[in-house]
Structures are given as structure tokens and as C-alpha cells.
Amino acid sequence: MTSAINPQLSFAQVEYANKKKLTRRDRFLASMETVVPWDRIVAVIEPYYPTSGKRGRPPIGLSRMLRMYFIQQWYSLADEAVEDALYDSCALRDFCGINLAKESVPDATTLMGFRHLLEENALPGAILKEVNNLLKEKSLLMSQGTLIDATLIAAPSSTKNEKHERDPEMHQTKKGNQWHFGMKAHIGVDDESGLVHTVISTAANISDISQLDKLLHGDEKRVGADAGYVGALKREAVQQKLEVMPNAVRWYIAKRRKPIRQMTEGWQKDLALAFEKLKARIRAIVEHPFHVVKNIFKHKKARYKGMMKNDAQLNTLFALSNLYMARGKLRP
């Protein structure tokens, strides 16, 4: 009986592989296995990854650490929670290529060290760029138009910590009648595919319009944004960016609600409302990456202290959201 079993697999893996139903986690991991450009991302990180340890055991394989890091982002897990999840889930262990009969799961400290390596060398931004290069090669990221938007990400506001203070790099801001403490994620999105090409992180009190010029890549023919970006063309930084654009840019920026409400009833107001509705339909695609990151990947609160770490995580999350949104066209 044992001779028929693959000696490379444990009994638990054989039993799990022969189950009658594929779980949602199985299907998700199988999908990501086929769409993530593993070799290209490994090539980005490899020059910075140690090949041998100064003391103790040799470093764990880069591919395995990368898979653990992506699992952390997909399921919104802390370093310790990733270690526990790998011990608990055969699906996650198979995805990382871990056989408990021969080896243990890399501990939380090892994953933390890998995460710090990525943060210190600004590699998450390079990962987003490499993913976008793949999408451009597949003609999925056209870069003819850009949609701009920003979202608030809450940060812990409690002062029950060692220094008895909130994160000094975060800030509070008022949206509507409610105060929020945390940061903002500003994104530039391709208006045809909804894929993110630029990510910028700031404190929550930084205005949306102040980051607009940084979210333009320079080759746009169309730019869309909500009413928070009214007056963008009057800003010097935007005008300087426009000077390097070879083509005239069409701007689709929503009007503020008050001037439209004050218009007298009639065909002019109806036409203005219809035009605003059309612009809203065009801009709606910018919400898709936020939906993936916040609702599917469950990233609704800043996990780390300091802007650098959270910015690195956001770049990784939006790189993975691009792959998730384009998975249907990237699968073999």
C-alpha cells in the first residue's frame, strides 16, 4: 500500500489531495499560482537577497519566502499569524512547497526579516512596476488615460503603547461630518482596464489635489477625477507635467454639487446632470482596485507604524490586485 504513495508527499498531503471538493482557498491559490510572474519578481528581489548566512542556518529559498509574503497580503495576516496558518492549512503549505514530514515552517521572525528587506530596498514599488510591465506586454495596460482617486486607511488611534502616543506620521482629517485618523492611498488607474499604475501614500490630512501631478505618467490623452480635484489645471505642478505631454489632454473632473443644485430647473440643468452622470460612470472603474484591496484582501487598517512600511505594503497590495483583476486574461 505504501509503495503506491509518492515518497515526496506526506500522508496528510496525499489525504488532502484526494478530497472530493476544492475549497475557495484551493481555487484562489491555484489561480494565483498561474498568473503571478514568479520568475520575474524573483529576479527583481534576487540581487538584494542573501545567498548565505553569516552564522547559523542558511537562508530559506527566495521563492518560498515570496509565497509566504504574498499569503500575508492576500489574507491580511500578521507575521505570527502566517506561521500559524501554514501549520494549520495543508493548502497553504502545498502552495509554499512545505512538507512537515521533512521540514518546519519558516518562523515569524524570518518572514519579518524578509519584509524588512523589501521595505528597506523599495522593492514593493519595483514589484508593482514589473507586474505592470507584464500587463503592458499582454496589452492589458494601455496607458492612454488615467483616473485619479484616493481613499482613507485608518490607523490605530489608541495611545495605550510604550510611548503613549499615536503614530506621528499619521494624521487626522475630516470627511463629511466624521473625523478619521490614519493615512491616504492615492492611485492612478488606467481608464480602460482599471489597473493601477502609480501608488502614493500620504498622511490623511494631505489634500487629494496636491498629489495629482505625481499620479500622471505623462502620456495621457484623458484624465478623470472626482470633485476633490477641481482646479487641477491651475496648479503649477500640473501645468509643468502637461508641458511634456505630446497630446492635448481631455479632462473629466466632476463639478461640485452646490453649483448644480443652484441652477434653475430646465433643460440646462438636466443636461448638466446627464453630463455629470456620464463622467461618474467613467470614473467608477477607479473604485475597483480599492474594492479588491479593502474587501477581498481585507486591508482596511494600517498594519504598521510609519509611512515607509505602509507604503511598501500598499504597493504590493495593488500589484497583487492588478494580477487578481486581470487573472482571467493572464491564465494559460
Contact indicator for 10, 101 with CB cutoff of 8 Å? yes
Between CA 251 and CA 53 the distance in angstroms is 54
Between CA 146 and CA 23 the distance in angstroms is 37
- Could you identify the residue written with the cell 496648479? 235
Q: Give the pLDDT mean for 165-183.
A: 89
| Residue 11: per-residue pLDDT | 56
3-state secondary structure of 6: coil
Between CA 210 and CA 234 the distance in angstroms is 12
DSSP output for 60-115: PPHHHHHHHHHHHHHTT--HHHHHHHHHH-HHHHHHHT--TTT-PPPPHHHHHHHH
Could you give the dihedral angle defined by the CA atoms of residues 141, 143, 145 and 151, in that order, rounded to the nearest 10 degrees? 70
Closest CA to 199 of 282, 276, 310: 310
**In the numeric block, which cell numbers belong to residue 301?**
487598517
Closest CA to 41 of 32, 53, 28: 32
Between CA 156 and CA 301 the distance in angstroms is 8
| Residue 7: per-residue pLDDT | 47
The ranges of the chain annotated as CATH 3.30.420 are 142-330
Contact indicator for 135, 191 with CB cutoff of 8 Å? no
Tell me which of 328 and 280 has the higher pLDDT: 328
| Residue 8: per-residue pLDDT | 59
Strand pairing report for 222-225 and 250-253: parallel
pLDDT tens by residue, 4-31: 334 455 656 665 666 667 889 999 999 9
CATH fold for the domain made of 142-330: Nucleotidyltransferase; domain 5 (3.30.420)
- Could you identify the residue written with the cell 500500500? 1
Tell me which of 308 and 279 has the higher pLDDT: 308
Whether pLDDT at 95 is above 90: yes
Taking residue 188's Cβ as centre, other Cβ atoms within 10 Å add up to 24
| Residue 272: per-residue pLDDT | 77
The DSSP output letter for 292 is: I
Whether pLDDT at 246 is above 60: no
Which residues have CB under 8 Å from 161's CB, separation 6+?
none
Taking residue 247's Cβ as centre, other Cβ atoms within 10 Å add up to 10
Q: Give the bridge partners for 181, in sequence order.
A: 172
pLDDT tens by residue, 114-125: 999 999 999 999
Residue type, 269: K
pLDDT tens by residue, 190-240: 988 999 999 999 999 999 999 998 998 878 888 888 888 888 888 888 777
Q: Give the bridge partners for 154, in sequence order.
A: 182, 301
